[in-house]
Amino acid sequence: MSLSVGLVGMPNVGKSTLLNALSNARAEAANYPFCTIDKNVGVVEVPDDSLLRLRDALQPKECVASTIQIIDIAGLVRGASRGEGLGNRFLAHIREVDAIAHVVRCFEDPEVAHVDGGVDPIRDIDVVETELSIADLESAERTLERERKVHTDTAKKRVGVLERIVEALDAGSAIRDIGLTKDELSLVNDHNFLTAKPVLYVANTNSEDFRTVPPLVSAVIDRVRPADVVVINARLECELAELPDDDRTELMSEIGLDVPGTVNLVRHLFNLLGLINFYTIANNKLQAWKIPYGTDAHTAAGMIHSDMKRGFVRAEIAKVEDVVKYGPFSELRKRGLVRAEGREYIIEPEDVVHILFSV
């Protein structure tokens, strides 16, 4: 399962620096607009305490974490929906991702230019969101006009959804905020509407003291829900990543960071995508598998191997805590700590799964 998060924002807000901090993509980071033209892609391991606990308890020969893709997308400017800057290419790249990390510049630096002349995170948020909304509105209106000429039950349902979308966008609301059901969204999913994607705001600061909240970051938190904001110093995170473990721990303690900002951010992005991990242990290999929350055992089996889905018999389920305490499935069965579930069982966080199948 390939799921991706797009780093979106104005030029020179630190997206490429953030990608370098998150992964080994080594995207170019420079002080001029549109430094990023083609998208840069990094693959980032998901920090997973449960996987580490299982690894330490079982000592497998191989341990594989789940990953997500982080894509650094070209900076957006005012007028992007009309093709300004790299607008059309930028918007096409956003349509391809599953969620948006909206990187907002919350630092002053005279050596790093701002395309609008000065640092104002609220203005920047409004510019980006306006351009995405305009692009969605134009797309929705074109589709609505076309669908009104089609006289089928499905087309009528789609018209109803599109009318709600157009009304909301006209009023300044994002599609994600108007309460469309899963079935209603499925009618328009092929359009990949930009403002329908889940979003997390990443306040990129130059603060080196995380015991206080800088004013520019406070402005972002006041603009959106606090739970939707992650604060990070991307440049500092690049430096932390290159330090030996002891030095990194010491510096983090000095600046008030419990965990690296990149770890906190990836965990938030994983949740933003609506994912959970489950775990398998086979052939001395421990592996975490990411799935959308609400996935059934039959579908999860197919993510491991198509034969497992095709010949699914049942799933044996244990919990991480029991595996850590008592060891492999053979021991857990003796203790009555393994339960059998059918194909409709919904996989839960902390599940360790053994699929029985026959092909």
Question: Highest mean pLDDT range out of 14-23, 102-111, 235-244, 328-337?
Answer: 328-337
| Paired strand residues for 7 | 72, 101
CB 148 within 8 A of CB 98: no
Torsion of CA 70, 74, 75, 76, to 10 degrees: -110
pLDDT for position 88 = 53
**pLDDT band, residue 31 (cuts 50/70/90):** very low
**Contact residues for 224 (Cβ-Cβ < 8 A; gap 6+):** 125, 201
Residue 312: is its pLDDT beyond 50? yes
Mean of the pLDDT values across residues 101-130?
86
Query: pTM (2 decimals)?
Result: 0.88
Q: Which residue has the tokens 């609506």?
A: 274
Measured CA to CA, the distance from residue 263 to residue 266 in angstroms comes to 5
CB 6 within 8 A of CB 101: yes
Give the pair of three-digit tokens for residue 53.
Answer: 């606990």
**pLDDT band, residue 18 (cuts 50/70/90):** very high
pLDDT for position 82 = 57
- What percent of the chain is predicted at pLDDT more than 90? 68
Residue 158: is its pLDDT beyond 60? yes
**Contact residues for 3 (Cβ-Cβ < 8 A; gap 6+):** 68, 69, 98, 99, 273, 275, 290
pLDDT, one tens digit per residue, over 165-175 is 999 999 999 99
CB 22 within 8 A of CB 103: no
Q: Which residue has the tokens 């609008």?
A: 116
Residue 18 DSSP class = H
- What percent of the chain is predicted at pLDDT more than 70? 90
Residue 281: is its pLDDT beyond 90? yes
Mean of the pLDDT values across residues 180-198?
92
Single-letter code of the amino acid located at 50? S
Lowest mean pLDDT among 84-93, 180-189, 205-214: 84-93
pLDDT for position 91 = 79
Boundaries of every domain in the chain: 294-357
pLDDT for position 102 = 96
Measured CA to CA, the distance from residue 152 to residue 50 in angstroms comes to 50
Residue 125: is its pLDDT beyond 90? yes
**pLDDT band, residue 111 (cuts 50/70/90):** confident
Helix (H) or strand (E) holding 343: none
State whether residue 339 is helix, strand or coil.
strand
Helix axes 87-96, 121-147, angle to 10 degrees: 80
**pLDDT band, residue 35 (cuts 50/70/90):** very low
pLDDT, one tens digit per residue, over 47-93 is 999 999 999 999 999 999 999 999 988 777 666 455 544 445 667 88
Class of domain 294-357: alpha beta
pLDDT for position 299 = 97
pLDDT for position 110 = 81
pLDDT, one tens digit per residue, over 228-272 is 999 999 999 999 988 898 999 999 999 999 989 999 999 999 999
Using CA atoms, how far residue 290 sits from 264, 308, 316, in Å, is: 18, 17, 18
Residue 25: is its pLDDT beyond 60? no
User: φ, ψ for residue 80 (rounded to 5)?
Assistant: -60, -35
Strand pairing class (62-64; 275-282) = unpaired
pLDDT for position 264 = 92
